[in-house]
Amino acid sequence: MYWGEKMREKQIIIFEGICGSGKTTTAKQLYKYLQEKGINSRAYIEGESPIDLLWHACFNKNEFENLCEKYQLHAEQMKKRSFVEKNYVFVKYCQMDEYYFNGELLEKLKEKDFFFGAKPVVSSAEFTEILKSRWKKIADDFANNDDKAIIIEAAVLQHQIHDLQRLYNMNNDGIINHISVLIEQFAIFNPILIYLTQPDLDKNAIRIAKERKNPKYAEDERIAYYKKRKQIEYEAMSRLKLKSYVIDNSDYDYDKVFKIIKTIADI
């Protein structure tokens, strides 16, 4: 693949890694670089992406109509922030820490959150089919527009593993099969996955807790979860049909990491 004036192919580049690994920083760094080079691209950063459906409430059509009837003052705004996927209506009610609704309505929306709800709002099979449909639409749009690259952060491994375990108690095989269905939608673009890692997760957790001023990141239970999730992520990378590259980012030297990324992506 060639970039700049000689670039002829489209490319999807995926960034993954445990919390605090540097995936957001490097994803944004690559996006900025491509923009500066005049290469049309999109960056789907965690929480801001149309691909992962974070902070979206999910309703069947009757439920959504009843919700609009009950909260008529907010119905128009809900409709403006909604779209239909596989016969379900999705309402985006939050962007990171900014909520678009409040009070009782906000609580109703949170209850029906597709990823973060206390319980599943669809079956595990529907969960996969909805995301498959979503990813297919994004792939089709990419194939037919002028963009040369899509950068995706955290949507392929992190959220799929976390939420399938939490919501459906799904085993590793089920999770990896689910992810493979999603990745298949991007297969024609030969996506590459760049995994940033710090071998010492205990040390990394302490650093993140300090940087983000949140001691929860350094709790033993969370560190144990990250270690377990990392094992699943490595297993997934070994089994998925995409090229995966692991970069040790222990020293957080982003200039060095970016040089490696440019080599991997042939920039």
Q: 3-class DSSP state for residue 184?
A: helix
In a domain, 178, yes or no: yes
In a domain, 116, yes or no: no
Same domain, 73 and 29: no
Same domain, 130 and 216: yes
In a domain, 118, yes or no: no
Same domain, 97 and 226: no
- Beta carbons of 205 and 183 less than 8 angstroms apart: no
What are the angstrom distances between the C-alpha of 25 and each of 153, 156, 207, 239? 10, 17, 16, 27
CATH classification at residue 224? 3.40.50.300
Per-residue burial over 184-193, b = 16 or more CB atoms within 10 Å of its CB, e = otherwise? bbbeebebbb
Same domain, 69 and 9: no
Same domain, 165 and 238: yes
In a 10 Å sphere around its CB, with 0-12 CB exposed, 13-18 middle and 19+ buried, how is residue 90 labelled? buried
Q: Which of 69, 86, 111 is the last residue of a domain?
A: 111
Predicted confidence pLDDT, tens digits, the chain (267 residues): 444 433 358 999 999 999 999 999 999 999 999 999 999 999 999 877 888 899 999 999 999 999 999 999 999 999 999 999 999 999 999 987 799 999 999 999 999 999 999 999 999 999 999 999 999 999 999 999 999 999 999 999 999 999 999 999 999 999 999 999 999 999 999 999 999 999 899 998 898 889 889 999 889 999 999 999 999 999 999 999 899 999 999 999 999 999 999 999 876
pLDDT of residue 47: 77
pLDDT of residue 212: 87
In a domain, 165, yes or no: yes
Same domain, 143 and 205: yes
Q: How many domains does the chain have?
A: 2
Same domain, 85 and 43: no
Domain span at 92: 56-111
pLDDT of residue 48: 79
pLDDT of residue 187: 95
